[in-house]
Amino acid sequence: MPGRFDGRVALVTGAGAGIGRAIALRLADGGATVFGVDVDHEGLVETSKAASGMLITYRADLAEADACPAAVSACISRLGRLDVLGNVAGIYAAAHTPEMSRERYRRLMAVNLDAYFYLAQAAIPHLLEHGGNIVNIASNAGIQGIPYSAAYCMSKGGVIQLTRSLAVEYLKSPLRVNAIAPAGTNTDIAANAGFPADMDADLAGRMGGLRGLAEPEEVAALFAFLASDEARSVTGAVYTIDNGLTAS
């Protein structure tokens, strides 16, 4: 919707591909100045080329704790304000739980959960200045049990509780905090999930739905609603986009 975010600044992580790219493009198309963050510089360049509005790129590895407040500081320094924080960046690692290395586990938690907290921590003082909001990308894996995905489910369950806790903490302020929990979505992460070769087909079947995958643009459309003034009464909510998977 043109003009929906005129004058607003949105920091979107994971903007180099997939859901993050779709969100960054959607907000820019709506008039926002988007500060797109990703570890993948080439992906950011491609997102910038596709943007119809203002999109500034910033490369950062959000698995490094100090990179999170640095990204927020860079956004404020460049653009002077922050109205929307989109915590979108995420990684996936499948394994039999006894075979998950500490290194893979630690990086997954650092990107999927720690970074969300550190970014919110740094962004909240700026968001409070303009009645801004945070939209976190969780997953239906934070609601359901998913085989071979214990660490991923932990991280996304944490995102849901981070969302609810922050929403309650700031109920007496204009700050809003919401989450979207997609299931299978047509992204590189879904295409390259890398499940164990000997996985149990019956258990794996629990991860699929009858309607197939969602598209990143569908998630972006819901994100844009939640980040806009149209959702001014929505906070602490977790919206699923899962083709009925969680309900079934």
Burial 130-152 (b: 16+ CB within 10 A, else e): bebbbbbbbbbbbbbebbbbbbb
φ, ψ dihedrals at 57, nearest 5°: -105, 150
CA dist., res. 168 & res. 85, Å (int)? 17
Bridge partners (DSSP) of residue 136 are 87, 179
Q: First and final CA of the chain: distance in angstroms?
A: 33
Q: Which of 54, 57, 24, 23 is nearest to 40 (CA)?
A: 57
Report the distance separating Cα 160 and Cα 140, nearest Å: 10
State whether the Cα torsion 147-150-152-157 is positive or negative: positive
The 10 Å CB-count burial string (b at 16+, else e) for 156-195 is: bbbbbebbbebbeebeeeebbbbbbbbbbbbbebeeeeee
Q: Which two tokens stand for residue 145?
A: 């049990």
How many CA atoms lie within 13 Å of 38's alpha carbon, on the beta-carbon side?
26
Which residues form the catalytic set?
Answer: 152
